[in-house]
Amino acid sequence: MAFSPQTRAQSRRWLPRSFYARAALILIVPVLTIQLAVAVLFLQRHVEDVTASMTATMARQVALVRTHPELAALLGIFEAEAPDATRIRIWDLGGRVMRARLAEALPDLAAVDTVAARKEVRLGFADGTGLAFPRDAVSAPNPHQLIVWMVAVALVATAISVLFMRGQIRPIRRLAAAAEAFGRGQHADFWSSGSTEVRQAGTAFLAMRARIERHIEQRTLLLSGVSHDLRTPLTRMKLELGMMDGPEAEALAGDVRAMERIIDTFLDFARAGATDALAPHDLTALVREAVSLAAPEAEVPVSGPEGVVMPVLPEGLRRAVANLVGNALRYGRRVRVEVSAGAAAAIVAVEDDGPGIPDGDRDAAMRPFSRLDAARGSTEGNVGLGLAIVRDIARAHGGTLRLGDSPLGGLKAEVVLPR
């Protein structure tokens, strides 16, 4: 019978979450199982067999003392008050074996008490007489020593194994930290170490990181180079159009301005993955500054708590907020920005009352060069990179970009930044 991935995942919920705890569990469970198996099988058999043999000898001595009382002191048996009933502790395995053997050898035995006196066994007979003898005369000598040694050896072995596991897991943790740092746009020092499998994973990560860095570098150089080379002919075109009159010249000037906006967008996209350093900033103050720079003539309200200081990429975050505010002003009339902060993350939300984006198109809207408004041409400067730039900047912080519905009736874009 095949189980679904969800069923298998639910069946493992009882397992610890960390690899270190799971490895420790894999080690400790077999050790405890062996301990219990030895204790139950070997010790029980040992206690029962030895106790039965010693009890048989003691039963013969008790029978001899009952017929020849003068031998009691010589055999270590003495008179005692007869117990009223049999009392043996539940966990006293040897006591139950001893009682059974005594009952078989002494037909008139009425009661056996191993609780009334410490380290002593009292017997009561049908005629009202009682005898007592030391418990160690019918018990295996010091069976607890084996248990103590087993526990001590198990603890030492577990401690050594835990230290060994820490050394094996440390390279995995370093690999995870390096991967997380790379996802935030940081270049953490990392070298491959550990077991063969961990070294292979580390080497694969280093090769992957190098390939991604080369790809980002090539993308940046390509877009920067193309954008830079296009500025020279555009400048000449602007000068020539400045000396021309007529509606045709004005239309061409609009095209040139749109091409300049496209070039600026390319440059922003090329810079989105780099490189201003993380630094602590007041998040609300930084967002207000970005909104005022992006829309100096529009009255865009910014709300949020003061004093939310957290490490951010300041230039990147300014660019992300500016892109979202510019998009909101392009498609809507009412725009508002809200900053909220929790224990785990801070959120910068930009809302508008425009047409919004359908739920099924939101993932596509965040892809580079994706334009959902097909009726608009690229002459307006829209090349479908605005939300892609914002998403790249959010990922550089280790966060994400979320699109949803705004209470204003349009789009709500949230930049989630982990704290």
Are residue 339 and residue 376 in the same domain, yes or no? yes
In a domain, 7, yes or no: no
Are residue 337 and residue 391 in the same domain, yes or no? yes
Are residue 305 and residue 395 in the same domain, yes or no? yes
Are residue 350 and residue 284 in the same domain, yes or no? yes
With a CB cutoff of 8 Å and minimum separation 6, the contacts of 286 are 312, 314, 317, 318
CATH of residue 259's domain is 1.10.287.130
Are residue 251 and residue 351 in the same domain, yes or no? no
In a domain, 239, yes or no: yes
**108, 150 in Cβ contact below 8 A?**
no
What's the confidence (pLDDT) of residue 349?
A: 93
**193, 216 in Cβ contact below 8 A?**
no
What's the confidence (pLDDT) of residue 379?
A: 40
Are residue 309 and residue 232 in the same domain, yes or no? no
In a domain, 15, yes or no: no
What's the confidence (pLDDT) of residue 375?
A: 36
0.85 cut: is pTM over it? no
Q: Which of the listed residues 121, 144, 167 is the one where a domain comes to its end?
A: 144
What's the confidence (pLDDT) of residue 295?
A: 83
Q: How far apart are CA 255 and CA 303, in angstroms?
A: 37
Which residues pair with residue 294 across a beta bridge? none
Are residue 283 and residue 413 in the same domain, yes or no? yes
Q: How far apart are CA 222 and CA 229, in angstroms?
A: 11
Q: What 3 state SS string does 50-104 have?
A: HHHHHHHHHHHHHHHHHHCHHHHHHHCCEECCCCCCCECCCCCHHHHHHHHHHHH
What's the confidence (pLDDT) of residue 146?
A: 66
Q: Which of the listed residues 242, 271, 300 is the one where a domain comes to its end?
A: 271
Are residue 266 and residue 307 in the same domain, yes or no? no
What's the confidence (pLDDT) of residue 340?
A: 92
In a domain, 290, yes or no: yes
Are residue 233 and residue 280 in the same domain, yes or no? no
What's the confidence (pLDDT) of residue 132?
A: 92
What's the confidence (pLDDT) of residue 377?
A: 39
In a domain, 165, yes or no: no
**Domain count of the chain?**
3
Q: Which domain range does residue 32 map to?
A: 20-144
Are residue 325 and residue 406 in the same domain, yes or no? yes
In a domain, 128, yes or no: yes
In a domain, 227, yes or no: yes
Q: Mean pLDDT by 10-residue block, N- to C-terminus, for the chain (419 residues)? A: 52 66 76 75 73 88 88 88 87 82 89 86 90 85 66 80 80 85 75 83 89 80 72 76 73 74 66 65 91 84 88 86 88 90 90 88 78 47 71 85 90 90
Are residue 66 and residue 106 in the same domain, yes or no? yes
What's the confidence (pLDDT) of residue 135?
A: 87
Q: Which of the listed residues 120, 144, 168 is the one where a domain comes to its end?
A: 144
Are residue 310 and residue 326 in the same domain, yes or no? yes
Backbone angles phi, psi at 228, to 5 degrees: -65, -40
